[in-house]
Homo-oligomer: A and B are copies of this chain.
Amino acid sequence: MNTWLKIASNSDFSIYNLPFGIFSTSKNKPKIGTRIGDFVIDLEQLRKLGLLQIPHNIFNQSSLNPFIGLGKKRTNNVRLQIQKWLCEDNSPLKKHFDHVFHKIENIKMHLPVKIGDYTDFYSSIEHATNAGKIFRPDNPLFPNWKHIPIAYHGRASSIVISGTPIHRPKGQFKPADASSPVFGPTKEMDFELEIGAIIGKNSSHGESINISESEDYVFGLVLFNDWSARDIQRWETLPLGPFLGKNFASSISPWVVTMESLSPFRVESPTQDPAPLPYLKVDGKRNFDINLEVKLGNNIISETNFKQMYWSIAQQISHHTINGCNLKIGDLLASGTISGSEPNSYGSMLELSWGGKNPIKLKNGETRTYLKDGDEVIISGFCKKNEIRVGFGEVSGRILPAIS
């Protein structure tokens, strides 16, 4: 496909992508747009011009939820129509260019969806094994791990848009040599490299989603950073799992990349041994080849890929609903930390510094075990196959000192 718009050849937002997000300008309240190159296309404006046949009060919203609720056929038709116009010389987009295109530097992005429930999985075998080795050297992977896409519920209220600064959380933790817990700002501030699936269809309470249909319930994917305070987490986690060590903030990338635009990048899932129970068995290409990178300031500290995840999104959804738990449009299912097998492919400081034992070196001569105040973490991701590139942009956040 060729578009008449000039787009950098390495842009994440190629003609093949056209993700959806919520933007505002100095003149306009938040509404729905799509992105191409360094421009945002104002979908509400296109509707007002009579060019998109979408009910009013869909695009003019501060979340994608009502739009997603129209169903994949209609939402993807919008994407395909824009794509067509961007390739046609005689195009209404060209004609109305000044009314519907905004330069990316003139807009502000917002949370793309109103998130009802947020679930965090734990689906990378490398991460689960690493975390296990660090915390429980004798028993790294629990016996249930290869049978269950392990997950827990997270906090939806504290999910913020990329770029939001994150205050170092305070809390209680117990130093190894102390007899009782102490209070203060976390000393083990961490990030977690994840990908989040945005649910695109409601399921009924009581209903189990068959695995062959489970991807129909995903609208698209985002990058996700599940900030963590390891010392707080370690002290609180028994017996009910992580709570304050996680729920102070998570960051999300602004553009939801649709399942349709990711379909060229599907790959086979890793072999699962032992075979999972029948409700988790699935054929076809259920994983996605997404290159991922984490920068700490201008240092690339991790490079990995989403394709080797042990449990696929399809399996996560069938597991989540096998007991009748209902999913709602806008729910977020995050992958859990994505780590590769090499030390430079780990998706958290916990793993990169091996529990704080092996500091990593930065270009400026400093070292890090966990994050310092002022550190900025930037996660980016893209897919590439032949000349087709579809990317996520980035999710970033800078650590601010604890509020006193």
Residues of A with Cβ closer than 8 Å to B? 116-117, 122, 132, 135, 142-144, 147-148, 150-158, 160, 167, 169-172, 174, 180-181, 183, 205-208, 229, 232, 235-244, 247-249, 274, 277-279, 319-320, 322-328, 331, 403
Contact = CB atoms under 8 A, between A and B. Distances in A.
Nearest to A274: B180
Contacts of A320: 244
A115 B160 CA distance: 19
A204 to B, nearest CB: 10
Given A157-B116, A205-B158, A240-B242, A325 B151 contact: no
A331 B157 contact: yes
The list of the 4 closest CB pairs from A to B, nearest first, reads A241-B241, A169-B323, A153-B153, A152-B240
B241 A328 contact: no
A243 B152 contact: yes
Nearest to A164: B205
B242 A147 contact: no
Which of A152, A153, A240, A323 lies at the interface centre, i.e. has the most chain B CB atoms within 10 A of its CB?
A: A323
A147 B180 contact: yes
Given A157-B326, A319-B244, A142 B277 contact: no
A325 B157 contact: yes
Contact of A236 (B150, B160, B205, B248): B150
Contacts of A240: 122, 150-152, 241-242
State the copy count for this chain. Answer: 2
A278 to B, nearest CB: 7
9 contacts: A117-B155, A122-B240, A142-B238, A151-B240, A157-B325, A181-B277, A237-B239, A244-B319, A244-B322
Given A147-B181, A322-B170, A403-B206, A117 B248 contact: no
B117 A157 contact: yes
Nearest to A239: B142
A132 B239 CA distance: 9
A263 B347 CA distance: 49
Which of A122, A238, A243, A319 lies at the interface centre, i.e. has the most chain B CB atoms within 10 A of its CB?
A: A243
Given A116-B157, A152-B242, 16 more contacts: A116-B156, A117-B156, A117-B157, A142-B239, A144-B181, A150-B243, A151-B240, A152-B153, A157-B326, A157-B328, A158-B326, A160-B205, A167-B206, A229-B323, A241-B241, A244-B320
A247 B153 contact: yes
A325 B274 CA distance: 39
Contact of A148 (B116, B142, B172, B328): B172
B167 A324 contact: yes
B244 A325 contact: yes
A244 B153 CA distance: 10
